Amino acid sequence: MCGIVCYIGEAQCSHIILDALKRLEYRGYDSAGIAVHGTESISVIRAEGKLAKLDAALAANPLLGTVGIGHTRWATHGKPSETNAHPHLVDGIAVVHNGILENHLELKRQLEQEGAQFSSETDTEILAHLIARELPGASSLMAAVRASLKDVQGSYAIAVLSSAEPDRIIVAKNASPLVLGLGDGEMFAASDIPAILQHTNRVIFLDEREIACIDAQGAVIETLDGDEVAREPRTITWSPVQAEKGGFKHFMLKEIHEQPRAVEDTLRGRVSVETGDVASELIGLDDIGARRIRRVVLLACGTSYHAALVGRYWIESLAQVPAEVELASEYRARRPLVDPNDLIVGVSQSGETIDTLEALKVAKAGAARVLAISNVLDSAIPRMSDGALYTHAGPEIGVASTKCFTAQLAALFLIAMYLGRRRDTLSPDKARDLLESLLEVPAMMREVLKKDEVVADTARRYAGARDFLFLGRSLSFPIALEGALKLKEISYIHAEGYAGGEMKHGPIALIDENMPVVVVMPNDTSFDRILGNVQEALARGGKVIAIVTENSPHIDALGIETIEIPACPEELAPLITVLPLQLLAYHVADFKGTDVDQPRNLAKTVTVE
Ligand code: AGP
């Protein structure tokens, strides 16, 4: 993972870079560093630990200069330490890198035989040695970087400084994200947009195997093969304030509370209650194309996978197309049978998750139509897809995904409705009713979010538990999985999500008086059966916390702890029931004092396999 940042212009850059790195810290945070062109040479400062350590190191030893690069690391090769932190400086060449060099052992052996001496355990240092080796015989730094990358296999987004060419930065990418930011007499580059949004909203995304030479006035972009690339800048509509905490203690809490707006924005302009339909350009399929689909396959990882599981129910019930969901990493690991009449949907908040990206490439090679659901404009997954349906959740900074999950649900619901209407499996009347209710979802979410304090109180009482069980049936099963994932990600408490029907097949053995059992049980067709699960858990001493629709029957008599949600059509319940689970995970973690926005061992965007 890791985050990289570059600045070139007239301002002193070390604090601009540090500030931008803080906005990328979600990508990795075990060490960090900055390299700046001083008057005569490149100076580097690195520190193990979070950026606060680098900040302190810079305060003690300021770096002066207006051209620089920075890095925040998530260790892949070599433990987190100052020597393994980037930038790596070799013979006046400083390099930062996000990605993994697959043939690093072979390259390192070769370089060592030629006399190179390595000071770190990283694969990145190889790049610095390769460029230093190429530079004397090359016509420019850009040519030296290009020549070095010829032998490199793997993923990289890199930025390179050379004391020989102090007025430029060379960047290049393959499989790891990199965006250029165009300022007024200054240029930026970064792994992600929020890093540079304070300074500019005009950006250019680099594509695979592209290289750029940046100076203060702009960038020359070429392919690694030397072809010119002419690409117009895009204007990003996210505001810098969206990337700030806005008075909340953590980004995650802010993002939980932003969900009504995220869903509203994702639906905006895409639905018509009057016609009972959703916008036709949504998935780029005309009526014939939509009718021709024989199967929908949803590919995703983590939280996006849970959204895809919900999407499968909707696609099958509303559009009556067989639908399958697969973990992207597993899909690509086998030889899946792909049919040209398949619609393959890649669900990815970041649009950069390597497993999802690679799985979609497999599907595309099988001539299937590929559709992306992503929150990041022009990221790798939408770029390689035949169509893209963007969620408009705004930047999500907390490592634990929340608002992008519900925005993904909204997008998946639209796809199911779109297909249902085109395939005549959804009547205009039913579609109108569903759309009317869908538009009421943000208001219902606001009602649930008012219960923040109630959930915090529950969380306080259970924060000491060692394990949690989450149960749900039907549409609530993926929500149980998501509740368990949220809790383990940020509180480090072991949690399992199970389908209620599976409880008797094993997990019931875990239940005793120490086991909180969170049951997602809105008033739907599975209600009576999940009520049975609650009774079984209670009979074994389990402490039940139930997410229920207000005024649900039989609940009061059980004397269990409840968090109520407003009544809504059962199809839409996942958009509502997940909110108390996100709040529960958040408050448990907050009481435990864990690092909510940057939980240990995780990174926001998983660009390594
Ligand atoms: C969610 O809280 C996670 N941190 C993680 O599971 C995430 O959903 C997963 O890595 C997929 O990311 P993507 O949506 O950006 O592809």
**Measured from the CA of 606, which atom of ligand 1 is nearest?**
10
Ranges 195-204, 270-279, 551-560, most confident? 195-204
Q: What is the pLDDT of residues 294-304, one digit of tens each?
A: 999 999 999 99
Q: How large a percentage of the chain has pLDDT more than 70?
A: 99
pLDDT of residue 384: 93
Label residue 1 by pLDDT band (50, 70, 90): low
Residue 607 reports pLDDT greater than 80? no
pLDDT of residue 243: 67
Centre of ligand 1 to C-alpha 334, Å, is 22
Mean pLDDT for the stretch of residues 45-64: 95
pLDDT of residue 77: 79
- CA dist., res. 469 & res. 219, Å (int): 53
Q: How does the average pLDDT of the chain come out, rounded?
A: 93
Q: Does the active-site annotation cover 543?
A: no
Label residue 83 by pLDDT band (50, 70, 90): very high
Mutate to test the pocket of ligand 1, among 192, 350, 352, 360 (most ligand atoms within 8 A of CB): 350
Ligand 1 and 302: CB distance under 6 A: yes
Ligand 1 and 396: CB distance under 6 A: no
Label residue 76 by pLDDT band (50, 70, 90): confident
**Measured from the CA of 605, which atom of ligand 1 is nearest?**
15
Ligand 1 and 349: CB distance under 6 A: yes
Q: Does the active-site annotation cover 604?
A: yes
Ligand 1 and 356: CB distance under 6 A: yes
Q: What is the pTM of this model?
A: 0.77
Residue 216 reports pLDDT greater than 80? yes
Q: Minimal CA–CA distance to 433: which of 420, 446, 449? A: 420
Please, is 532 exposed, middle or buried when counting C-beta atoms within 10 Å of its C-beta (0-12, 13-18, 19+)?
Answer: middle
> Is 533 in contact with 503 (CB distance < 8 Å)?
yes
**Measured from the CA of 404, which atom of ligand 1 is nearest?**
14
Q: What is the pLDDT of residues 585-606, one digit of tens each?
A: 999 999 999 999 988 888 777 7
Integer CA distances (angstroms), 130 to 126, 127, 165, 288, 571, in order:
6, 5, 17, 53, 56
Q: Which of 22, 403, 486, 604 is catalytic?
A: 604
Q: What is the pLDDT of residues 476-527, one digit of tens each?
A: 999 999 999 999 999 999 999 999 999 889 888 888 889 999 999 999 999 9
> Is 369 in contact with 343 (CB distance < 8 Å)?
yes
Residue 237 reports pLDDT greater than 90? no
